[in-house]
Each structure stands twice: as structure tokens, then as C-alpha cells.
Amino acid sequence: MNRIPVRVTVNGEPTEHDVEPRLLLVHHLRETLRLTGTHVGCDTSNCGACTVLLDGEPVKSCTVLAVQADGHQVTTVEGLAAGDGRLTAVQEGFRREHGLQCGYCTPGMIMAATGLLAAEPDPPEHRIREALEGNLCRCTGYQMIVNAVRWAAAHAGETFDVATGPRQAEGAA
Amino acid sequence: MIPARFDYHRAADAAHALALLGELGDEAKLLAGGHSLVPLMKLGLAQPAALVDVGDVRELSYVDERDGVLAVGALTRYRDIERSELARRLVPILAHATGRIGDPQVRARGTIGGSLAHGDPAADLPAVAVATGAVMVVRGPGGERHVPAREFFRGFLETALQPDEMLVEVRFPASGVEPWAYEKFSRRAQDYAIVGVAVVRGPEPGIALVNMDSTPVFCAAASAALGRGEEARAVAELAAADGRPPSDLNGDGAYRRHLARVLTERAVRAAAI
């Protein structure tokens, strides 16, 4: 079986593995690197649950071969919180605004929203909706997800303690 | 879903890609952004023995203005076309239609050359290339040849490209492609068009339909009628009579003709402003 060396910087850490060319990036992340925060949803590049940042742009990792990421930077949902575990504004926004119910689509939603806010720090609501066009949620009806992204835009650059509950964090903020 | 096994080759530049294609013959497929090919491979509908990855060949990623054309490198990603000030100014229908492909994640990966070489009649850019009268620059072992977009698409997922050739650039007329309109109808925001239409009014009008046949459809009679200044309704009737629309779960042929008429009428009116 032919294997190809793949060097990807994942969440800031250089990684190197020999992989089969047909290995999908999402499986490389979940199975080789054990980063299971990135979900496989539809597996047909529709639902966006597998969204990660590739060189800062949201992509669907079920439709990228791991070999295509060679030499590039990947950020997964595990890479958002800083080393001290403090959440980004997007992560905290989803918590505050109840931007999830079952949570399956959430890592992809958060990565798509993170990519949007990096490019457009203060997007109008229609831009948020366009940026999340490739992410399906079957629970929330999207409004609360949009609210979560708006909340994140309003708190750009702040970080949040994961241990404090939303109520206490409200007082602290 | 996991693709069948294949041999993988990474091209350092366009010359290397052509050399690999020459070596591997018609067993090999070029892999650009992979957003048409990889889904087909995952479904088992495409099983190339070898892939030549040109995704990191940056020399073919550019949007330039030269000699009256907007020259777009074949490996320019949708995102870069959508954001290109030059494309938006000179060939706005291209920038607009590119911004309506799939969703943001797809546009971060897919390339113009990948879409055109794939030749899916349901895709947006083939019809835009046909309507604007774009020219494909094709490079092979014997050098370069130019193929008008209106002669490039030969059948379902079939183009004028030979197995040892690659599309390197797409040239759009940098003037005369306004006013314009692009209309597409799909059930969900990210879906392929059930039917779409690209209309360029310009001195040389061009109307092309998306997903109304096994190739993008150049509507010669409707384009001529638009040039004569006929009414939107009459132009739309002519466009809707073109092509041999497929029937599938999204709609039958008659419904597609209905959509083609409505969308063309709407686009012709929009392109009048």
C-alpha cells in the first residue's frame, strides 16, 4: 500500500504522518490525530459539521484529502481555546445565546463563524447567514446561532472562563 | 465514504503536471480543489487510477487584465475571484456568479479551471463562460491552443481537453459584457441550480442556460433576438425552447423549461437597467 508523508500544522503543532492518499482530512484529524471535536455529518460536503480552518479559511474536511493539506495550517475546534482553556468569544457566544441544542453541528458552526469574523469582524446579519449557508442545524432554526455570532462580534478578542457558568460570567462581564 | 485506492502525484508546477499526465496517460486525473472530483470518488462514481495534484501550483492562480481580456489562471480559487476588484469591475457577472457557487467552504477550495474542466452542466461557471464568449487556454505537449467556451463543452462531464492537456487560463472579454444578469433557482441556498441562466446584453449578446442539457446551452436564437432588441418575454420563450432538459428528482424536463423561461425573462429585464 502506498503511503505519502503528510506534514500539517494542526492547532499550531507540527505533525507528520505517512498516510494513504485516499485518507480524508476529517479522518486524519479524528483517527490519526485523535482530534474528535471535528464531526462527520453527511459525509457529502453538504452539512458542514466537518468544517475546519485551512490556512484560516473554513473548508469541509470531508471533501479534502489529507495529502492536500500537506504544508498547510489546520485549525480545529480544539485549537480555539487558549492553553489555559479560556474560550473564544465565538465559543462563549454559542453558550450565552443557546446557539445549540444537540451540539452535533456546533464545531462546524463555530469554525465557520470563526472564519467569518476573522475576515469581517463586524458583519451585518445577512452576512452571518450567508457565511453559515454551508452549515446545517436540525435543532435550533438558526436564529440563536445567528445571535451567538452577533454576540461574538460584539465581544471580539475577549476570552471566557469555561469553569464559570454563564450566569456568573454575566456578572463578571 | 472512502474513495477507492489511487496513486498520488503532486505537481510542483504546470510543466511538471503536464509531464506527469504524459507519463500516466488517460489513467490519471488532475486534482485541483477537488470539490467536484473528490465527492464523485467518495461515491464510487469516479475511480481514477492516479491523481496529479495541482492544488498548490500557485503560478496558475491570478486575475489579470491584459490586452482587452480578463485573464484568470485556471487554479484561481472561487474565493479569490469573488473578492477580486478587477473581476468585479471588468466582468461583474463572473465575480457575482462565482460568489453564488455552493457555500463559503466550497468557494474556499474550488477553482475556476477545475469547474470548467469537470464540465458539469449544473455548475455555474460553464454557462458564464459560454454567455460571455470566454476562451479557454489549453496547454499540452505540443504547446498551447485556444478553444472558445462555446466549443469547449462536448457532453456530460466531457470537454475538448485531451488526457495529456490541461486548462491553464480562461480569458473573458474585459469590455462589452455589460449589462448582465445571472439567475439561478435551487431549493436550498447551497444547492446546484435546478436551472440557471447567464445573460450578457453587451454589443454581442450572449445567453446561456445552466442544467438544461448535458452541457451548458448557448441560446443562439435568444441571443440574436436580444441583440435585435426584442422583448424580454419573446427572448425568454426562445431560450426556454433550447436544450434537452433532463428529468430528475428536482424536476422534470417540462418544469425545467418553465424555469428557463421565467428566469431568462427576469434576467433579461434585470440586464436592461
Q: How far is B255 from chain A (nearest CA, A)?
A: 25
- How many angstroms separate the CA of residue B57 from the nearest CA in chain A? 12
Q: Tell whether B94 and B29 lie within a shared domain.
A: no
The pLDDT-based confidence of A171 (bands split at 50, 70, 90) is: very low
The Cα A110–Cα A88 span in angstroms is 10
Q: Are residues B111 and B218 in the same domain?
A: no
Residues carrying CATH 1.10.150.120, chain A: 89-154
Rounded CA-CA distance B71/B83 in Å is 15
Is residue B38 located within the same domain as residue B89? no
Task: State the residue for C-alpha cell 451585518.
Answer: A124
Peptide bond into B92 cis (omega under 30): no
Residue A169: the pLDDT is: 47
Instruction: Check: CB of residue A74 under 8 Å from CB of residue A28.
Output: no
In A, minimum Cα distance to B57 occurs at A68
Q: Do B2 and A70 touch (CB under 8 A)?
A: no
Do B196 and B210 touch, CB atoms closer than 8 A?
Answer: yes
Side-chain half-sphere exposure of A40, counting CA atoms within 13 A: 17
Question: Domain boundary residue among B173, B205, B229?
Answer: B173
Name chain A contacts of B53, Cβ cutoff 8 Å. Answer: 67-68
- Contact (CB<8Å) B53/A68: yes
Q: Where are the beta strands (DSSP E) in chain A?
A: 4-10, 13-19, 51-54, 57-60, 73-75
pLDDT of residue A1 exceeding 70: no
Spell out the long-range contacts of B204-207 with Cβ–Cβ below 8 A and sequence spacing 24 or more: B204/B133, B204/B176, B206/B130, B206/B131, B206/B132, B206/B133, B207/B131, B207/B235, B207/B239, B207/B264, B207/B268
Q: Please indicate, yes or no, whether residues B110 and B49 belong to a single structural domain of this protein.
A: no
Give the torsion through C-alpha atoms of B202, B205, B209, B214, to 10 deg. -130
Same domain, B66 and B164: yes
| B107 lies in the same domain as B48 | no
The answer on pLDDT for A172 being more than 50 is: no
Q: Hey, are the CB atoms on A22 and B2 less than 8 Å from each other? A: yes
Q: In Å, how far is B46's CA from the nearest CA of chain A?
A: 13
Q: Which of B173, B201, B233 is the last residue of a domain?
A: B173
User: What is the number of structural domains in chain B?
Assistant: 3
Closest CA to A125 of A142, A138, A103, A111: A142
* B1 occurs within a structural domain: no
Domain boundary among B117, B139, B173: B173
B46: in domain:
yes
| Reported pTM | 0.95
On the question of pLDDT at B188 being above 60, the answer is yes
Domain range for residue B63? Answer: 58-173
Are B69 and B47 part of one and the same domain? no
List all residues 6 or more positions away from A167 whose beta carbon is below 8 Å from its beta carbon: none
- The reply to whether B70 and B160 lie within a common domain is yes
Superfamily name with CATH number, domain A89-154: [2Fe-2S]-binding domain (1.10.150.120)
**Cell triple for A152:** 461574538
> Which CATH number belongs to the domain containing residue B263 in this structure?
3.30.390.50
Instruction: Tell me: do B99 and B163 sit in the same domain.
Output: yes
Please name the residue of chain A whose CA is at the shortest distance from the CA of residue B83.
A119
Superfamily designation of domain A4-79: Beta-grasp domain (3.10.20.30)
Mean pLDDT across B132-140 = 98
Complex confidence, ipTM: 0.94
| Chain A residue whose CA is closest to B99 | A130
CB contact under 8 A, B190 and A64: no
Nearest CA in chain A to B106: A59
- Indicate if B31 and B94 belong to the same structural domain: no
Q: Kindly list the residues from chain B whose CB atom is less than 8 angstroms away from the CB atom of residue A21.
A: 5-8, 51
**Distance in Å, alpha carbon of B150 to nearest chain A alpha carbon:** 30
Does residue B52 register a pLDDT over 70? yes
Does the beta-carbon distance from B105 to A20 stay under 8 Å? no
